[in-house]
Amino acid sequence: MKALILVGGYGTRLRPLTLSRPKPLVEFGNKPMVLHQIEALAEAGVTHIVLAVSYRAEMLEKEMKVQADRLGIQITMSHEEEPLGTAGPLALAREILAGDEEPFFVLNSDVICDFPFEEMLKFHKSHGKEGTIVVTKVEEPSKYGVVVYESQTGKIDRFVEKPKEFVSNKINAGMYIFTPKILDRIQLRPTSIEKEIFPAMAGDETLYAFDLKGFWMDVGQPKDFLTGMCMFLTSLRQKSPDKLHHGDGIIGNVLVDPSAKIGDNCRIGPNVTIGPDAVIEDGARIKRCTILRGSVVKSHAWMDSSIIGWRSQVGRWVRMENVSVLGEDVIIQDELYINGGRILPHKSISASIPDPQIVM
């Protein structure tokens, strides 16, 4: 089986992290984001994965070669000369995807969930039509485009953009299975699969909805990245509690790489991920944060809802909160207050940031 992952462009929504590396390689739950998808696809029997990228991503290519060898699968890069939207990349990879009559998966690269690929495939084969969209329930459907479908069969009737009154609370979760027949509908030009292809398929009664169980999040921007991390850790607690960290001062769900060092009298958690070679000094208080590889949090720092980029340093008695994000190699000097600061790589900060702002 084959799969195509829509990696797309420069990951501007997740800056400043994506100024240092492509978004698929930013670690989520101590693993490059795209690797969560790739490993789940490989486990479901996918042997060839195409990554659709609209820029030359040498770093991504290099890392994917390592992962392909490790997993015993083939990973191909499909480079767009111009951004082709969400459907155009399928036309660009037509030769690979249409190589046989087998259905193939298509995913948005920002999506994190308990990937139900085997169940999706079973459902897709049971209805035997052209396409299956995974849908997930949301609390505020008026903010999204919703999917209206028959609850018994899953057959999609129509799509409604930001409905004013309630028609459905299910939205497109950015994961699909198609038969190669869909490629006849798509030309090699910038095309939106959601706005141009899906409505036509629904009109032809060849598109079905698969209901996702469990958590789902698009983690393409910092606020959602942190919310998704909390959901991911909760899921880990249910499925593989042995992977979570236990010990003095650990509260709730905390994931710690074995090479990280944690000092005395710290309070860490709930919902914290600490990456490889990170150092947390004595008396630090950290909750709802991701600390990436090689970063140092100095003694008595207090941190909430923040992402600390690779090899950055948070000074003593610093207070940091409100979705602050440090790029790579940032130094926050001692005794400062950082409130919603987005700080670009290689900066040294010597004054507090009392209001949310981007520091260039």
What positions carry a catalytic annotation? Answer: 162
Contacts of 162 (CB under 8 A, 6+ apart): 142, 143, 144, 145
Dist. CA 133–CA 149, nearest whole Å? 11
Closest Cα partner for 16 from 350, 341, 354?
A: 341
Dist. CA 173–CA 66, nearest whole Å? 29
Dist. CA 346–CA 338, nearest whole Å? 17
Give the CB-side neighbour count of residue 22, counting CA atoms within 13 A. Answer: 22
Classify residue 229 by its DSSP letter: H
Dist. CA 101–CA 27, nearest whole Å? 35
Give the angle 89-146-18 at the CA atoms, nearest 5°: 45
Q: Three-state DSSP class for 289?
A: strand
